[in-house]
Amino acid sequence: MSTPLSDCIRIVNKLLIDALFPIRCLSCQKEGFWLCEECRKEIKLLDFQVCPVCEKIITEKGKLCISCQKEGASDITAMVSAVPYDNPTVKKLAHAYKYRFLPDISEPLTYLLSKSILQNDFPIPDFICPVPLHPKRLRWRGFNQSLLLSEKISENLVPFMKIEVLDILERTKYNPPQMSLKNYQERLQNVKNIFAIKKDSGQTKIKNKTILIIDDIATTGATLEECAKVLKSAGAKKVFAAVIARQSWKR
């Protein structure tokens, strides 16, 4: 529950951010928007998706390709990326969102991500699950960008219905950011076995349910894979994933 002091701190922080970073479209510099309507319309969603594991084969709605299905290579049923990783406007938005500490940028990013999920006809999930931050990084940033996206998406996927957001995953280890590692194998190892279900988090709710994991930018996809593995081990029936963009390592 908010206290008068925490409300004051939040207001002061917002005033400082507004003073240091006036709201201007990160594409055309138009005042009053982080992404104006004209520039938003120019961002084209990906019109195809690839296998989330091998990244080599275009698949329907981002499902696993036949080979990866046979190998049991993933606990993720399908994954969609909203836009190409090299889209300059989206790169600016994502960077400002995470590293300039601007939570309001979740709005235009949510628009792109929600539209992509609907375009790819994902099943309506029983729950939406954000990728968690370690408490140390959460204190540094002030908000979990994946949780904000999840909360907004929960209100936009189905008209007149809000899908419950389950913030039930936790990081059990403080690891370096994936973006700081340049080697593919290092990135895989960096997130191995670092997630768990929070104690007393309502784990039984996800048994035999369909879960949608939300994150901002995927690099190797290993973070999402680890989250899916934990959710499936806890009884989830199917796990889907959606990200704004994914950096390709394998194609």
Considering the domain architecture, whether residues 90 and 7 belong to the same structural domain is answered as no
Nearest CA among 187, 186, 177 for reference residue 216: 177
Q: Are 75 and 21 part of one and the same domain?
A: no
Q: Is there a single domain that holds both residue 31 and residue 127?
A: no
Question: Which stretch of DSSP H or E encloses residue 106?
Answer: helix 106-119
Same structural domain for residues 52 and 112? yes
**Could you tell me the pLDDT band of residue 183, with boundaries at 50, 70 and 90?**
confident
Coil vs helix vs strand at 217 = strand
- Please report, for the domain that includes residue 83, its CATH number: 3.40.50
Q: Which of 133, 137, 142, 145 is nearest to 216 (CA)?
A: 145
Q: What is the pTM of this model?
A: 0.87
Q: Is residue 221 part of a domain?
A: yes
Verify that 12 and 106 share a domain, yes or no.
no
Same domain flag for 77 and 15: no
pLDDT band at 81 (very low <50, low <70, confident <90, very high): very high
Q: Over the stretch 225-242, which tens digit does the pLDDT of each residue have?
A: 999 999 999 999 999 999
Report yes or no on 251 lying in a domain.
no
Do 130 and 199 lie in a common domain?
yes
* Host domain of residue 8: 1-42
Q: Which two tokens stand for residue 61?
A: 């709605």
Domain count along the chain: 2
In a domain, 93, yes or no: yes
Whether residue 171 is predicted with pLDDT greater than 70 in this model: the reply is: yes
